[in-house]
Amino acid sequence: MKVLIVGSGGREHAIAYSVAKSKRVDKIYCAPGNAGIGLLAQCVPIGAMEFDKIVAFAKEKEIDLTIVGMDDPLVGGLVDELEAAGLRAFGPRKNAAILEGSKAFSKDLMKKYQIPTAAYETFDCAEKALEYLKTASFPIVLKADGLALGKGVLICQDLGQARDGVKAIMEDKQFGSAGNRLVVEEFLTGREVSVLSYVDGKTIKTMTSAQDHKRAKDGDEGLNTGGMGTFSPSPFYTKEVDQFCREHIYQATVDAMAAEGRPFKGIIFFGLMLTEKGPRVLEYNARFGDPEAQVVLPRMKNDIIEVMEACIDGKLDQIDLQFEDNAAVCVVLASEGYPVKYEKGFVIKGLERFEGEDCYFCFHAGTKKVGDDIVTNGGRVLGITAKGRDLKQARENAYQATQWVTFENKYMRHDIGKAIDEA
């Protein structure tokens, strides 16, 4: 069978790695892909938002399954367009991807169906938001309603910061039209954990847990990024937490979407905070996490194509989803200066060291082939993932493997997975 993957990051490389392991797959294409994905798939120079070209390509090549990895094309309705052309696609339709595409929608859904989340108010006008903030207690959280590359969330310590935040989001439109509406949310404290799941419209099967590190610098300092590293499983995701989420969050979300006439098929990513009062949903994403996919997928025992097809066909109840009884850690190698300003185009050396390894993985995020070289081409460059019998071993292995690769301006956090020492 022929598979097309849409996207170009570390997540799509991890998906391509899993797809390449499937016995049912003969040929993989990726639009647009990157240098690492190019080792497993044929990359085609079509952007993830070029829907007409993607549909035309999938028809021409008689693609059997298109996997949409990224949020923007999902929220924009790429799956609907593929289906309208008679093609099979994995991912939610536009009316379901809104679960990620609009924070106001997801908050209203959780309120209506009593899914535990932070208290909130929604505003379409800056004046009303400011009026409300005058009487609010701090810290407080401001969220741009729409997609903002994971950067549309501001935690404000006082009214002054909140005023600046409202101005940045709603007036200066720092996140574009994502800031046409604003969600103002109660500030929660606790450990964060990501749980990804496969969903077929009615059945949900959760994957092993993971934790991201969103800030740029050690000790969770610095600006928010797309994610600087992950580990899986999270030792804080206990049986009790799992039990609570099964009772109050996972199936409840799938049922709520179905009840709203927006059946969700694809991946639901639950961003949870484990508060003193119990787990709360911080956010939903409608796709694999990046770099959560890089630690979750290498531990999955199932054939990913079988699981994805079961989601599309509404037969997920027949799948016995299984993960290896080990751990994985991913350390992102970034360009110094990310997420603000950084140089690109430096030659990456040492990549061949990962060939033939089955416990060490080098997932490419921002890389490009130039002649015979592979060069840096983004803020997040590579995701170095290693497995180990437990989290400590996996972390040791991952940090060791970060030394195999060199490039100018290489930057990483040194404390990915440090929290596991406290578990």
Q: Which residues bind ligand GLY (CB under 6 A)?
A: 150, 212, 227, 285, 289-290, 292
* Amino acid identity at 240: E
Nearer to ligand AMP, 150 or 201 (CB): 150
Question: Cα–Cα distance between 144 and 173 in angstroms, integer?
Answer: 10
Q: How does DSSP assign 270-299, residue by residue?
A: EEEEEETTEEEEEEEESS--TTTHHHHGGG
Interface with ligand AMP (CB under 6 A), residue from 271, 278, 314, 388: 271
# residues contacting ligand AMP (CB under 6 A)? 14
Nearer to ligand GLY, 197 or 203 (CB): 197
Return the one option of ligand GLY, ligand AMP, none that residue 25 interacts with (CB less than 5 to 8 A, by type): none
Give the shortest CB-289-to-ligand AMP separation in angstroms: 10
Residues 359-398 that bind ligand AMP (CB under 6 A): none
Give the shortest CB-301-to-ligand GLY separation in angstroms: 23
Give the shortest CB-55-to-ligand GLY separation in angstroms: 26
Nearer to ligand AMP, 51 or 269 (CB): 269
Q: Does 187 contact ligand AMP by CB under 6 A?
A: yes
Nearest to 249 by CA among 217, 273, 214, 223: 273
Residue 27 region, left (φ>0) first, then alpha (ψ -120 to 50), else beta? beta
Instruction: Supply 312's token pair.
Output: 């599309």
Give the shortest CB-123-to-ligand AMP separation in angstroms: 16
Per residue in 334-362, is it b (16+ CB within 10 Å) or e — as a string? bbeebbeebeeebebeebeebeeeeebbb
Residues 102-121 that bind ligand AMP (CB under 6 A): 118
Q: Does 283 contact ligand AMP by CB under 6 A?
A: yes
Instruction: Supply 186's token pair.
Output: 């109660």
Q: Does 185 contact ligand AMP by CB under 6 A?
A: yes
**Alpha carbon 108 to chain centroid, angstroms:** 22
Question: Cα–Cα distance between 115 and 246 in angstroms, integer?
Answer: 11
Q: Does 184 contact ligand AMP by CB under 6 A?
A: no
Question: Cα–Cα distance between 170 and 181 in angstroms, integer?
Answer: 7
Return the one option of ligand AMP, ligand GLY, none that residue 289 interacts with (CB less than 5 to 8 A, by type): ligand GLY
Nearer to ligand AMP, 8 or 106 (CB): 106
Contact yes or no for 65/404 (Cβ under 8 A): no
Residues in contact with ligand AMP by CB under 6 A are: 118, 141, 150, 153, 155, 185-188, 192, 214, 271, 282-283
